[in-house]
Structure 1
Amino acid sequence: MGKNRQIRDAVREMYAKAARSVEENEGGCCCCSSRKTANPASRDLYSEEEAALVPEKAMRASLGCGNPTALAELHQGETILDLGSGGGIDVLLSARRVGSSGKVYGLDMTDEMLSLARENQQRAGIENVEFLKGTMEEIPLPDNSVDVVISNCVINLSTDKDRVAGEIFRVLRPGGRLAVTDIVLYRELPASLQRSLELWAGCLVGALQVDDYRARLEAAGFTDFSITPVKVYKREDLLEYRDFFQSAGPGLDIEAFDGAVMSAFVRAVKPK
């Protein structure tokens, strides 16, 4: 089995396990409130008002590192695509922002997350939503079909980020916007860490450095791109993930990640 396939399988299993945990009332786990989320990185990203708009299971399944719906400036009537939509929290919040004249697609490759998301949609009573099975490397939507692409701590998980950027560019309409939160690196991590499937599935070693991220967006055709830090993870923050780091590899040094990892808001525009 190739390394890329191994990584994708590890990511799929981690998110399937997170969905099953939510269904079993254990909460989620992942990359680097409560507002009822079980993931430390997702704590306090959503307001009490936003939490009240979605089912509790959608909040507990939140595995992101930001709140793209609060930063994406969504408008009534727009069509939105959420990559790696998980339990559906950002899809459901986006659907309320675009209103009945808009549409929101959620794309996920994990059957367990899709099942949970559709359950949350039904509980929320929201109709202008459609959850699709697929990958962000092969988005099952036509060219020039959406106004905004959002995602929450997902693009770092791909092993082919150039293809992801190209697919996002393809499905966006001219003038469309990319507005995602993601894990981004300030500096390169030690090569020895790249072998850890757990660290890749945990949103760390697959992340791009800032300049590399910008270069890939530019190569895909985007303009007006920016990367704005949301939170830089220091040693004291990473200690909350001590159990995860220990499970990822014996003797793993948290110091290697101190100040190297940030959650960031990434914006870009497809030219008209």
Structure 2
Amino acid sequence: MAELKSECCAPPAHAAGSCGCSAAPDTGGDVREVVRERYAAAAREAASGGGCCSAVALTDASGTEVFGNAVYAGAEVDGAGDALSASLGCGVPTAVADLLPGEVVLDLGAGAGADVLISARRVGPAGKAYGLDMTDEMLELARANAAQAGAENVEFVKGYIEDVPLPDGAVDVVISNCVINLAGDKNKVFAEAARVLKPGGRFAVSDVIADAGMDDATRADMAQWTGCIAGALTREEFQDGLRAAGFEDVEIRETHRVHEHAGSAIIRARKATA
């Protein structure tokens, strides 16, 4: 991992602000496989006790930690347990999801399970928290974290956020933490989130929002897909995508900068009741 990290920190990656990530594996340019391999490596690293996560960018170009468990500082994280140390997110969606006892929550791209476990504690025994992830290694790590935390109202399922393996109207709230920007087809993600939500259901995610002027070189840099930069939508694109999928009351609020061309934001919306 050290060799890969130093390779990433050499120009031109460092100049683009992606220092902290490893060089992208050769996958023929398939975004999903790039993401899967990078996050599988992060899960293996965390599970081995070697810390987290040299396989994924956690810092900006200046070395400030803008992803990972540092972003939870000061937030209520009861129930997260060891899962928090392996977080790769860019915000705290559970802080704005307004979760209530008895609700059903779905976390898109649950990773090590921190936000699922926090949600499970808040919805209580009468509620349930689902965690969806496509990476076997992350699912194994998340299930181990749930067992260690003694969480019984959680379920981790394998699948893609563009094709959620849950029935229509199954959940009250959809959350996600810096994952939607990694998807190849964001509109499918928005449509699936709307499909599984009950009428009036809530959408509360943390994600990276690209500045309108993000340069083509940054967008084209595959190595930054797993640093949550190159695949990010602009504010207008995110709003338009959610509205087209049937969401209303869309609110986007930037929380901190993660790159010279992008910032982390809280995005909230509500599925139309009609």
**What TM-score do you get using the length of structure 2 for normalisation?**
0.82
Counterpart in the other structure of 2:43:
19
Q: Pairwise CA RMSD of aligned residues?
A: 2.0
Give the C-alpha shift of residue 198 in structure 1: 1.2
Counterpart in the other structure of 2:272:
271
Give the C-alpha shift of residue 212 in structure 1: 0.8
Shift in CA distance, 153/4, structure 1 to aligned 2, threshold 3 Å: farther
1:136 aligns with 2:161: yes
Measure the CA separation in 2 of the matches of 1:138 and 1:108: 11
Number of paired residues? Answer: 240
1:84 aligns with 2:109: yes
Is residue 66–residue 90 contact of structure 2 (8 Å, CA) maintained in 1? Answer: no
1:214 aligns with 2:247: no
Measure the CA separation in 2 of the matches of 1:39 and 1:17: 19
Give the C-alpha shift of residue 188 in structure 1: 3.3
Shift in CA distance, 170/114, structure 1 to aligned 2, threshold 3 Å: same
Counterpart in the other structure of 2:90:
65
Counterpart in the other structure of 1:53:
79
Structure 2 alignment gaps of length 5 or more:
1-26, 59-63
Is residue 230–residue 264 contact of structure 1 (8 Å, CA) maintained in 2? Answer: yes
Structure 1 alignment gaps of length 5 or more:
33-37, 234-256
Is residue 86–residue 113 contact of structure 1 (8 Å, CA) maintained in 2? Answer: yes
Measure the CA separation in 2 of the matches of 1:60 and 1:43: 6
Give the C-alpha shift of residue 52 in structure 1: 5.9
Give the C-alpha shift of residue 26 in structure 1: 2.4
Measure the CA separation in 2 of the matches of 1:51 and 1:23: 21
2:43 maps to amino acid = A
**What TM-score do you get using the length of structure 1 for normalisation?**
0.83
3-state SS of 1:87 partner: coil
Measure the CA separation in 1 of the matches of 2:75 and 2:215: 41
Give the C-alpha shift of residue 73 in structure 1: 0.6
Match of 1:6 among 30, 46, 53: 30
1:141-152 residue pairs with structure 2 within 5 A? 141-152=166-177
Shift in CA distance, 48/124, structure 1 to aligned 2, threshold 3 Å: farther
Measure the CA separation in 2 of the matches of 1:49 and 1:218: 29
1:91-110 residue pairs with structure 2 within 5 A? 91-110=116-135
Measure the CA separation in 1 of the matches of 2:236 and 2:150: 42
Identical positions, percent: 48
Counterpart in the other structure of 2:8:
none
Is residue 19–residue 116 contact of structure 1 (8 Å, CA) maintained in 2? Answer: yes
1:41 maps to amino acid = F
Measure the CA separation in 1 of the matches of 2:132 and 2:143: 12
Is residue 231–residue 263 contact of structure 1 (8 Å, CA) maintained in 2? Answer: yes
2:250 maps to amino acid = F
Shift in CA distance, 41/264, structure 1 to aligned 2, threshold 3 Å: same
3-state SS of 1:192 partner: helix
Measure the CA separation in 1 of the matches of 2:149 and 2:131: 15
Is residue 31–residue 204 contact of structure 1 (8 Å, CA) maintained in 2? Answer: no
